[in-house]
Amino acid sequence: MTPPTQPAHDPVPLPPGFRAHAGAAGLRERGDDVFVVVNDGPSPASSAVFTRSLFAGPSVVLSRQNAASGTARGVVVVAKNANVATGEQGMADAREVLERAADAIAVAPGELLIASTGVIGRRYPMDKLRAHLDGLAGATFDADAVALATAMMTTDTHPKTARVEVTTTTGGTAQVVGIAKGVGMIEPDMATMIAVLFTDAAVEPGVLDSAFRAAVDETFNCLSVDTDTSTSDTAIALASGAGDPVGEVELREAFEAVCLDLTRQLARDGEGATKLLTVEVTGARDRAQAKRVAKAILNSPLVKTAVHGADPNWGRVAMAIGKCHDDTDIDPERVRIVFGDLETYPAFPGEAELERLTEIMRAEEVTISVDLGVEGGAADGSCTVYGCDLTREYISINADYTT
């Protein structure tokens, strides 16, 4: 497997077996806002995970149904409008979008997945969507991953793509290409905003599903920009089988690499963010405890503002750990807090190390490591989570620009 690359704006072709179209239906003022991807096979497999929000919209409800087969043939993504809390009419609109898109690419509506994000509580502009989708039958399906990632952006500042190559069982290579969007209302729980992975590897749906879920659990589910969970989170993996078979371990590792790359891009591009904040917790009773403590630190507004101000305020990290008061096996006397590679608690850095500490805090990536030292802690009692600092710009984006 090659290390992931972040080609930003250079074209990133989809793997063999996929065709895509990105176009402008007029949902936003300029630029593409709808895309449709077709999985031409020869052996389509799919997996998808979704938000657990009680207010999940029709897109999530319908995709959950259509994903159950494990052999979805394509995805349609609508930007700028989440189609959430829109009642029965919203469900009817979503069904119609699925049907028209399915017609255009000659698959059954039940073989297509749908994802939407954007404003909550407004109906799709159906006239614009109908006109756009009905024109797709004659359109050229040659969009690359960057075009797709761009078409689904909302307040993202750049399209997010990632790509790795993975060795097949026959000694050749298959590709995994991923796209993602989302920079606010982000604390995914079982899924992220919208992410789609494509691979030409030949893989059974069950294997694809378990590899994808394992990768999501280590990456998108360890991401939080602002503790708010979207009503629309959707992560999808599609395999065409146009390439050779890939082993399950290799596939999971490739998925993890792509998802981790996208997760870090999402965190770094969090609304108003100036820094990527990574929190690593070790020495916990189990992974669940490590994740709980790591999230408490990552989501603390006082830790996030300290990171923004480059203030090595380890007292706020201690405070955030202290919030997990049901974890009574955490003993403050055994806890270690490290900023970058410098221990700040219990061994507070001396004057000689303050310059190094300032340097660590001023970097564009800040890592806080905590060893809980829980007695009898499990070997897997660790977790790494990804977020960002909290800035005035987050307030501006979400307070001043009314929706």
β-pair type (276-282, 365-371): parallel
Q: Is the Cβ of residue 54 or residue 352 nearer to a copy of itself in the bound state?
A: 54
Site for a copy of itself in 151-210 (CB under 8 A): 184-185, 189
The interface with a copy of itself within residues 39-78 (CB under 8 A) comprises 51-56
Rounded to an integer, what distance in angstroms lies between the CA atom of residue 197 and that of residue 148?
A: 12
192 is in an annotated binding site: yes
CB of 257 to a copy of itself, least distance (A): 29
Bridge partners of 112, per DSSP, are 74
Using CB under 8 A as the binding rule, whether residue 378 contacts a copy of itself is answered as: no
Contact between residue 177 and residue 145 where contact means Cβ atoms under 8 Å apart: yes
Asked if residue 250 belongs to a known ligand binding site, the reply is: no
Q: Is residue 181 annotated as involved in ligand binding?
A: yes
Where in 207-246 is the site for a copy of itself (CB under 8 A)? 226-231
Alpha carbon distance 210, 215 (integer Å)? 9
Q: Who's near 43: CB < 8 A, 6+ residues apart?
A: 202, 239, 240, 241
When the beta carbons of 134 and 329 are compared against a copy of itself, the nearer one is: 329
The DSSP annotation for 211-260 comes to HHHHHHHHTGGGB-SSSPPPS--EEEEEE--SS-B--HHHHHHHHHHHHH
Q: Tell me the C-alpha distance between 51 and 60, whole Å.
A: 8
Q: Nearer to a copy of itself by C-beta: 231 or 382?
A: 231
Q: Under rule CB under 8 A, how many of the chain's residues touch a copy of itself?
A: 64
The piece of 128-136, 140-148, 149-157, 395-403 that touches a copy of itself (CB under 8 A) is: 395-403
CB closer to a copy of itself, 67 vs 82: 82
Tell the smallest beta-carbon distance from residue 315 to a copy of itself (Å).
Answer: 3
Backbone angles phi, psi at 73, to 5 degrees: -105, -5
**Smallest distance from a copy of itself to CB 66, Å:** 21
Q: How far is the CB of 118 from a copy of itself (least distance, A)?
A: 10
Nearest of 45, 68, 73 to residue 245 by alpha carbon? 45
User: Cβ distance 263 to 63 under 8 Å?
Assistant: no
Which CB, 131 or 354, lies closer to a copy of itself? 354
Binding mask 323-362 for a copy of itself (x = CB under 8 A): xxx-xx-x-x------------xx-x--------------
Token pair recorded at residue 283: 């020495």
d(C-alpha 173, C-alpha 167), whole Å:
5
Write the interaction track for a copy of itself spanning residues 285-324; mark x where CB under 8 A is met and - where it is not: --------------xxxx--xx-xxxx-xxxx-xxxxxxx
Q: Is 364 in the site for a copy of itself (CB under 8 A)?
A: no
37 Cβ neighbours under 8 A, 6+ residues apart? 14, 18, 19, 20, 74, 75, 76, 148, 196, 198, 238
- Say if residue 187 carries a ligand binding annotation: no
Is the preceding omega at residue 346 within 30 degrees of 0, hence cis? yes
Closer Cβ to a copy of itself, 220 or 345, answer by number: 345
Q: Is residue 402 marked as binding?
A: no
For residue 64, what are its two tokens?
Answer: 């959950």
Cβ-based nearer residue to a copy of itself, 172 or 332 = 332
CB of 381 to a copy of itself, least distance (A): 16
Give the separation between CA 195 and CA 261, rounded to whole angstroms. Answer: 12
Among residues 86, 161, 192, 278, which one is catalytic? 192
Distance (Å) of CA 130 to CA 33, 71, 82, 103, 169: 14, 26, 17, 12, 44
Residue 71: name the closest of 21, 108, 116, 22 by CA: 108
Radius of gyration of the chain (CA): 22
Instruction: Report the nearest approach of a copy of itself to the CB of residue 332 (Å).
Output: 5
Catalytic residue check, 192: yes
Binding mask 107-146 for a copy of itself (x = CB under 8 A): ------------xxx-------------------------
Cβ at position 389, least distance to a copy of itself in Å: 8
List, as residue ranges, the binding site for substrate.
154, 181, 192, 271, 398, 403
Residues in contact with a copy of itself by the rule CB under 8 A: 51-56, 82, 84-85, 87, 119-121, 184-185, 189, 226-231, 299-302, 305-306, 308-311, 313-316, 318-325, 327-328, 330, 332, 345-346, 348, 389-392, 394-396, 398-403
List, as residue ranges, the binding site.
154, 181, 192, 271, 398, 403
Supply the residues annotated as catalytic.
Answer: 192
